[in-house]
Structure 1
């Protein structure tokens, strides 16, 4: 088992704001990378986001309109997440240990949802209307922009008889933590999407999972299964009395369809984060 996960909730920062962090990680080449990332990334993201928020508020005080301050703070948080990913990657590489890890993470702050990823872990948003929206895009060597990025720096991608695209004939993801041997091409630069969680909005829950789920279950099927499990429990939210039934349902679905990869699923109920 080379998957991992991490949760940090109700982390208070200056000004009364609170941060919540959720992450799912998929290791390869051993557990060293996934264990390190599961322990460090959330802490680094929360610390960097808190520091960025405090700094931006001090700098903007009295010099910008409230809406301009808000936009600048959101940009600073996105930049902080990027810095935390790169810092975590650098910290792991400095240990000289082999292996790597993919990640999909979510940071919730002041009614804003920041979803980031490297590799093929994925985050999918479930709406009140039941529509599934992928907030991440898998980083694979077969993705055209990823292939062009790799080739522009002297690397190459190839597709073997199994139909799997690989970097330098070895790695099946194009972004990840670790993987020192191909680090020149396999960056840990995350892509981040931001979604506003408004009281009258359509955001209901978020599904974070490793590719052991997504190789057999579509985005829409995952959202449908979570909504059905919640409805069966008789609740209006996602988790009924703290139940993990939606997660178990998705793991069972992937297994029944032949997934033999490690599978980790996390469902985040977004209702508590909506403004009153």
Structure 2
């Protein structure tokens, strides 16, 4: 994963101060004009009873690597419901896997037959089947992989967030920031990785890596490391009420580099 950052967010009209206000304004809700190093956009739900503004911003880092971050920020109508779909996919070893996720992961989730009755189970099932498809088609999609953080807003009332890897979701509630995703880092899952025949290296000046290669313990794709990786997401449900100010999704280029 290269040192680029991608941010997507959703917000209702509130007053906040500090770092997260700056991030929200730059990433989401101010001008969507772009430069040679960044691009962005914004929008607003049209039919939800709780009006939600959203936007995104992408910035290329100085590493010289090709940008491999992709995002989703859109609204759809399904069965008389309004769905806000937001995601960040941070790819590595090529952009074919994150591109596939951008185009297909939400479709796979929404096509799960039990999505409306059990969203968490549907999200878990879709993550698993999507990863299987990527692995089965590695000749076309390549050897790389991607982290993911996805958020589904249902009728402006319920937020379902899932992630694998180290892209995060943070909720600002009454002015306080709360991370609602889990950073799936190799040192935290060393026991599972070793039980599955892998190992975790920690070299001076470097982060822990699975088999000396990947800096996350969970990801889509990564055919050569899959025996030691997981694609099982952490899933959280957050009721949206008057205490929720905004939500930010971002790749590690924001959380671990820009900050």
Same fold, TM-score > 0.5, yes or no: yes
Mapped pair 1:205 → 2:250: no
- Of 26, 36, 52, 2:114 maps to 52
- Of 124, 134, 147, 1:102 maps to 147
Q: Which runs of 5+ in 2 are unaligned?
A: 1-66
* Larger helix share, 1 or 2: 1
1:20 aligns with 84
Aligned length: 189
2:177 aligns with 132
1:115 aligns with 161
1:152 aligns with 195
What TM-score, normalized to structure 1? 0.65
> Which of these two proteins has the greater Rg computed from alpha carbons?
1
CA drift at 1:192: 0.4
CA drift at 1:43: 1.4
2:94 aligns with 30
2:47 aligns with none
Distance 2:166 2:220 in 1: 12
How far does the alpha carbon of each residue in 1:219-253 deviate from its partner, in whole angstroms, 9 at most, with x for none? xxxxxxxxxxxxxxxxxxxxxxxxxxxxxxxxxxx
SS at match of 2:153: strand
SS at match of 1:9: strand
- Contact 1:26 / 1:103 at 8 angstroms: preserved in 2? yes
Task: Kindly report the root-mean-square deviation, in angstroms, between the aligned alpha carbons of the 2 structures.
Answer: 1.5
Mapped pair 1:186 → 2:229: yes
2:15 aligns with none
What TM-score, normalized to structure 2? 0.69
* Larger strand share, 1 or 2: 2
Higher mean Cα deviation, 4-13 or 78-87?
Answer: 4-13
Q: Which runs of 5+ in 1 are unaligned?
A: 55-72, 217-253, 258-276
Higher mean Cα deviation, 24-33 or 88-97?
Answer: 88-97
Distance 2:90 2:176 in 1: 26
Distance 1:172 1:189 in 2: 17
2:256 aligns with 215
CA drift at 1:154: 2.0
CA drift at 1:89: 1.1
CA drift at 1:86: 1.2
